[in-house]
């Protein structure tokens, strides 16, 4: 995979130079944007920022609003990855407004989702809830089922943090159904794990164990060792709690 990215970088750099040689600025900007996205995927964020900033300036100069907005969106996501939350908020809000101008509902909804992620990270839960709800509705309008399910899952996580287990349960169950419908085993497993936490918090130990075991099976099937380990720890805690409950009843 790394060699594929390296080959792509070489070809894009060559193409950019050729476009610059004939004065085709839009073509050069497209190459810079693609290079930035590759560096972003490789977590080489500083290099990505340089490429995307250059592309953004060219797109802005030639009046290509969509390219300009997409670069803003990528730059906002990078700021988020670097925990530069206030910068990320500002850039993603700008990107959302520009994407709305050109009718890119998917891009605008993705910005809302990213803004929700930032607010959730900062424990600004009420703001995050509003943003996730708005993003979910937009994703549903355009049939982006996976993104909509992710928003529901995030809402479930927030309700857990707010100690609202019944609301969390509803969100996780809805998200789980959608993930299952599109064959997303990671998302399904995460929702099952969330449901296990909900049931555990409510004292429904057997239900929690059942959900935790299903989550573990999903994570094992897609080879996610860290998530499997989390499930094992939870199941050990549940088994201990169940043993205590049995002893208490015996007394």
Per-residue CA distances from 234 to 105, 149, 166, 238 (Å):
39, 24, 20, 6
Distance (Å, rounded) from C-alpha 170 to C-alpha 147? 17
Q: Any idea where the domains of the chain sit in the sequence?
A: 15-79, 104-178, 184-241
Tokens found for residue 138: 């937009």
Handedness of CA 138, 139, 140, 141 (dihedral sign): positive
Please count the helices (runs of H) and the strands (runs of E) in the chain. 12, 0
Q: How does pLDDT run along the chain (251 residues), one tens digit per residue?
A: 567 888 898 999 999 999 999 999 999 999 999 999 999 999 999 999 999 999 999 999 999 999 999 999 999 999 999 999 999 999 999 999 999 999 999 999 999 999 999 999 999 999 999 999 999 999 999 999 999 999 999 999 999 999 999 999 999 999 999 999 999 999 999 999 999 999 999 999 999 999 999 999 999 999 999 999 999 999 999 999 999 887 777 66
The pTM is what? 0.90
Count of Cβ atoms closer than 10 Å to residue 168 Cβ: 23
Tokens found for residue 211: 């959900």
Nearest to 34 by CA among 61, 62, 5, 57: 5
Distance (Å, rounded) from C-alpha 213 to C-alpha 196? 9
Superfamily name with CATH number, domain 104-178? Tetratricopeptide repeat domain (1.25.40.10)
Distance (Å, rounded) from C-alpha 115 to C-alpha 41? 20
């Amino acid at each position: 995979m790394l060699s594929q990215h390296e080959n792509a970088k070489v070809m894009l750099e060559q193409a950019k130079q050729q476009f610059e040689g004939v004065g085709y600025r839009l073509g050069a900007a497209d190459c810079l944007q693609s290079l930035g996205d590759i560096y972003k995927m490789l977590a080489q964020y500083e290099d990505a920022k340089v490429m995307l900033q250059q592309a953004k300036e060219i797109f802005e100069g030639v009046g290509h609003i969509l390219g300009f907005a997409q670069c803003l969106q990528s730059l906002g996501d990078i700021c988020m990855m670097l925990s530069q939350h206030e910068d990320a908020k500002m850039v993603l809000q700008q990107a959302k407004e520009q994407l709305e101008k050109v009718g890119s509902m998917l891009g605008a909804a993705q910005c809302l989702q990213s803004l929700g992620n930032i607010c959730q990270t900062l424990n600004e839960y009420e703001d995050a809830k509003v943003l996730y709800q708005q993003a979910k509705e937009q994703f549903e309008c355009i049939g982006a089922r996976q993104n909509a399910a992710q928003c529901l899952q995030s809402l479930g996580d927030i309700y857990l943090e707010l100690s609202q287990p019944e609301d969390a349960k509803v969100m996780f169950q809805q998200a789980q159904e959608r993930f299952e419908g599109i064959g997303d085993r990671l998302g399904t497993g995460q929702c099952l794990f969330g449901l296990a936490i909900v049931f555990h918090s409510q004292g429904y130990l057997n239900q929690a164990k059942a959900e935790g075991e299903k989550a573990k099976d999903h994570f094992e099937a897609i080879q996610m060792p860290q998530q499997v380990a989390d499930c094992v720890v939870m199941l050990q805690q549940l088994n201990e709690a169940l043993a205590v409950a049995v002893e208490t009843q015996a007394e």
